[in-house]
Amino acid sequence: MKTFAINTLGCKVNQYESQQIRELLERFGLLPAEPADRADLVVVNTCCVTHIASAKSSQYIRKAQKHYPDATIVIAGCLPVGQSEELTSIDGNVCIVWQKKDLAKTLAELLQAGGTDNDTLQADKSNSYLTSKRAVSLNKTKTAKTSHKKELAASSCPAQLSPLSSYAGRSRAFLKIQDGCDGYCTYCIIPKIRSEIYNKPASVVLQEAYNLVYAGHKEIVLIGIFLGAYGQNTVRRTNWEASKKDKLAELVGKVAQVPGLERVRLSSLEVGDVTDRLLDVFCKHRNVMPHLHLPLQSGSERILKKMRRQYSVGQFLQVVDRVRVRLDRPAITTDIIVGFPGETDEDFERTMEVARGAAFAKMHVFSFSARAGTAAVKMQPTVGTGVIKERSRRLRQLDEELQERFRRQFVGEKVGIIVEKTGPVRGRSERYFMVELDPKETAKRGEFIQAIGS
């Protein structure tokens, strides 16, 4: 094998892990395939958080098989773990990694073995070692087909994916500091996919941040499956160790001091994660962006309880008010699920009311998607498709109004952007909204520049 391609679906954590896969493959001597080239190895990093995500993952797999007929297709990510039955119709030259913890080892053994002989490969569900329908062995004594494989020793087989040294193809770099969730919100399949809680040591986070800045990234986004639980061994706050409640704040403060780092941004938090200490860090370090993503999910107390969320509507709004007191015009963005089982017109109107009161800078609107293995899949009564579409339309219309109102505050002001696209030049401001420069303006991707809001 000489070249590879990676197709990624899903969240920021999946995107980060695809970058780890890229660096692992490059260490084995493989090169990224050009778009028009035929890759020898294709990794499809899947998602299954919704039915749509699962369907897209399966579609990506089939497209990869069609576009790269001679390549080995590695199916990784969440779909094999969370909804394995949806892969039963997949055949051909594929390798399915059933357990996330075995991905690095599986890839290494596959590469050291010199390929797959174009057989259908499956990873055994008990230990994720590769086996074939025709029992083709992938032992390390197989003759290597390319010179770089001959140089690999048995000790080069990694137990896990390594921290990043760069974030290829992106101006902003994601840095995963936490993984896993045992919260079991009733609609969410993630605790069954990423059940093991993991906190990356602060020393490793800081070294990785240094590496990313050295590679040219001026903005780092700290990410995790449940970011606010950093330092804890559970995401359930009632079981948290009080002495560790500010571990996230401590880490953010240290990352903010990495030389050359223009911006630090946090991904998703819950309102219970927004401590006074964390707000102190926002205020002290001006390179920590005044942007908090706080998923509301519903503005109905009754629905929040059915969802098994760890906050009330009142607590949510109190934190929003507290953030606005401490920070200058912060961008507060959110996620909202429409059509959760039992959601009445009154429940939805309450969500609309809370959204207006919170004056969100942006809302991500999701239609409820029942997933097998979650408690919500059995909840009644279900909400009709037509009702969900109409409620989603109204909420998205409100989102457009709120976004425009938020951005109007900055008309005529100078805002900093890190260029993400050119022709025309575009980039995100400190408060996350996109700024587009005059078509005559020029700048390089990744460059930090000042622009006047209009």
Looking at residue 324, its pLDDT comes to 98
pLDDT of residue 359: 98
Q: Compare 285 and 144 and report the one with higher pLDDT.
A: 285
Torsions phi, psi for 449 (to 5 deg): -135, 165
Eight-class DSSP state of 268: B
Helix (H, G, I), strand (E, B) or coil at 273: helix
C-alpha to C-alpha distance for 397 and 191, rounded to whole angstroms: 32
How far apart are the C-alpha atoms of 424 and 426, rounded to whole Å? 6
Q: What is the pLDDT of residues 164-175, one digit of tens each?
A: 999 998 889 999
Helix intervals (H) in 215-312: 247-255, 276-284, 301-307
The Cα 422–Cα 268 span in angstroms is: 28
> Would you say residue 131 has pLDDT above 60?
no
All domains of the chain in start order, with CATH = 3-156 (3.40.50), 172-408 (3.80.30.20), 414-452 (no CATH)
Residue 102 has pLDDT above 70, yes or no: yes
Full-model pTM = 0.90
Rounded to an integer, the average pLDDT of 303-332 is: 98
16 pLDDT above the threshold of 50:
yes
pLDDT in tens, 197-227: 999 999 999 999 999 999 999 999 999 999 9
Is residue 124's pLDDT more than 70?
A: no
Rounded Cα distance, 9 and 442, in Å: 31
pLDDT at 139 over 70: no
Q: Please report the pLDDT score of residue 159 as a whole number.
A: 67
pLDDT band for 440, please (50, 70, 90 cuts).
Answer: confident
Task: Report pLDDT for 437.
Answer: 84
Calculate what percentage of the chain has a pLDDT beyond 70. 89
pLDDT averaged over every residue in the chain: 88
Which pLDDT band holds residue 114 (cuts at 50, 70, 90)?
Answer: low
Cα separations in angstroms, 449 against 93, 422, 437: 47, 13, 11
Of the two residues 295 and 369, the one the predictor is more confident about is 295
Sequence-separated (6 or more) residues with CB below 8 Å from residue 325: none
User: For 411-436, what is each residue's pLDDT tens digit?
Assistant: 989 898 999 888 888 899 999 999 98
Helix (H) or strand (E) holding 198: strand 198-199
Give Rg (Cα) of the chain.
Answer: 23
Calculate the alpha carbon distances from 101 to 66, 161, 176 in Å.
28, 9, 16
